């Protein structure tokens, strides 16, 4: 069973000219969990190579592609240390608290919609330049 630690980082939530602070919650993966994730994707790629072997004509391209994609995708997956989980904060438009689930592939900046008022929200990384603009 994977035990993943949850880490939170402050972010900026913008709606037009209004802004509010929020939290981006990320899963921090241990080296063991990263190895397991890499092994799974490597296994899936090689399984796809095995399944595509009897496909006439296309197996000439598919099998070598999946065989090469296995270690490449595993390496890329192993390099991922943190995976986004969800964002929580207050909508700058309607002032309601919200929590939005994120996909593991989501990255900031990201456009989302408020679950309460359906306003367009922009989730931005909080940097020194954004902090100085707020004051």
Q: pTM above 0.75?
A: no
Tell whether the model's pLDDT for residue 121 goes beyond 80.
yes
pLDDT digits (tens, 9 = 90+) for 75-105: 999 999 988 989 999 988 888 898 989 988 8
Pairs from 130-133 (Cβ < 8 Å, separation ≥ 24): 130/12
pLDDT at 45: 97
Q: Which single residue is written with the structure tokens 């904060």?
A: 89
- Does 1 have pLDDT greater than 60? no
Contact 26, 83 (CB under 8 A): yes
Rounded distance between C-alpha atoms, residue 38 and residue 79, angstroms: 9
In this predicted model, what pLDDT tens digit does every residue of 23-59 receive, in sequence order? 999 988 899 999 999 999 999 999 999 999 998 888 8
pLDDT of residue 43: 97
């Amino acid at each position: 069973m994977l035990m993943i630690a949850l880490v939170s980082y402050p972010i900026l939530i913008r709606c037009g000219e209004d802004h509010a602070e929020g939290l981006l919650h990320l899963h921090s993966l241990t080296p063991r969990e990263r190895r397991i994730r890499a092994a799974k994707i490597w296994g899936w790629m090689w399984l796809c190579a095995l399944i595509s072997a009897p496909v006439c004509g296309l197996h000439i391209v598919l099998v070598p592609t999946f065989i090469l994609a296995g270690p490449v995708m595993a390496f890329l997956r192993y390099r991922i240390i943190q995976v986004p989980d969800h964002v929580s904060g207050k909508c700058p438009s309607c002032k309601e608290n919200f929590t939005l689930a994120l996909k593991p592939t989501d990255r900031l900046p990201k456009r989302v919609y408020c679950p309460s008022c359906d306003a367009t929200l922009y989730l931005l990384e909080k940097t020194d330049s954004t902090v100085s603009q707020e004051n």
